[in-house]
Amino acid sequence: MTSDQGKGGGEAGSRVKESRQDRLKLALRENLKRRKSQARGRDDAASSELADISLDDAGGKEPQR
């Protein structure tokens, strides 16, 4: 009473496993790209805020105390 159930199905099972790994690789790569893009957007926003602040202070006047 031996059963092949749960053993991956030989070649077909390995193809399924490879295609799953390929999909996971692609999904991870796309996720990384999206996260990098979001991080760049946050950095750009922060640097533009700093530039605005520095432009405000560039009037040559001493800041109020």
pLDDT band at 65 (very low <50, low <70, confident <90, very high): low
Output the CA–CA distances (angstroms, integers) from residue 4 to 9, 11, 20, 44, in the order listed: 7, 13, 21, 56
Domain borders along the chain are 15-57
4-61 per-position pLDDT tens digit: 555 556 788 889 999 999 999 999 999 999 999 999 888 887 777 766 666 555 555 6
